[in-house]
Amino acid sequence: MKQFVCQVTTLESLTTQVYQVILRLPEPIEFLAGQYIHVVMGEHDKRAFSIASCPSRTTTIELHIGATPDNSYAQEVISRMQQEGVVTIEAPLGDAWLRRDSERPLILIAGGTGFSYTWSILQAHLRSGSVRPVTLYWGARRPQDLYFDEHLRELAAAHEHFHYRPVVEQAPELWHGAQGLVHEAVVAEQTDLHEADIYVAGRFEMVRVIRDEFKARGLPSEQLYGDALASI
């Protein structure tokens, strides 16, 4: 793990509250799908964000940052990027990376911008040529918050072993997906959780519920991955 001073080459809105950030690294790095970085705001102020890019990209890092006016943790990072055009990061970090040596089906569960974690894993898995089945459950408040929805539907149509399940809390009348909380959709469809490897990212409250409920349904703890699990 090293520090890098990166150029902010892209900072665009994906939604009214989510930014796509691309950082150009001063030198190539190697990381694993599912790892994260620290944005260094100060000596004792380091803020974690999942890497959204595929590990095959070694000279840039993509982030998806949810930043609302009341979320100073993320908004201050976006403001610095906008004002200075450079940012110092530490990378790579995290132990919840994709385990390629398993033959179990993959279940990816994302809440909001936790999608960035699962997006890196999904890209790496599809690129690897593995035919292990992979299902992505992405939960959000409204359909417009699922900012990669169309692209994911296209990927699912192109890869028979990839299944995409969007889940929203507030569904419009014409909604082609599940309604409710994302973990409820998983439980409703997946009857044999103990046979899968599950990767999860989102709010701590969501990850805590998933950990407790899935364990009660027979999922071994060593088959559940997510860096938030170390903090709850």
Other CB atoms closer than 10 Å to residue 22's CB: what's the count?
18
Taking only the tens of pLDDT, the chain with its 232 residues reads: 799 999 999 999 999 999 999 999 999 999 999 999 999 999 999 999 999 999 999 999 999 999 988 889 999 999 999 999 999 999 999 999 999 999 999 999 999 999 999 999 999 999 999 999 999 999 999 999 999 999 999 999 999 999 999 999 998 888 888 999 999 999 999 999 999 999 999 999 999 999 999 999 999 999 999 999 988 8
**What 8-state DSSP symbol labels residue 227?**
G
Decide if domain 106-231 falls under CATH 3.40.50.80: yes
Sign of torsion over alpha carbons 142, 229, 41, 3: negative
Peptide bond into 92 cis (omega under 30): yes
Q: What is the pTM of this model?
A: 0.97
**What 8-state DSSP symbol labels residue 232?**
-
Report the alpha-carbon distance of residue 212 to residue 221 in Å, rounded.
10
Report the alpha-carbon distance of residue 162 to residue 1 in Å, rounded.
32
Report the alpha-carbon distance of residue 4 to residue 34 in Å, rounded.
19
Helix axes 204-216, 182-189, angle to 10 degrees: 20
**One fold for 2-93 and 106-231:** no
Q: Where are the domains of the chain?
A: 2-93, 106-231
Indicate the helix (H) or strand (E) that contains 13: strand 2-13
Beta carbons of 6 and 12 less than 8 angstroms apart: no
The architecture in CATH of the region 2-93 reads: Beta Barrel (2.40)
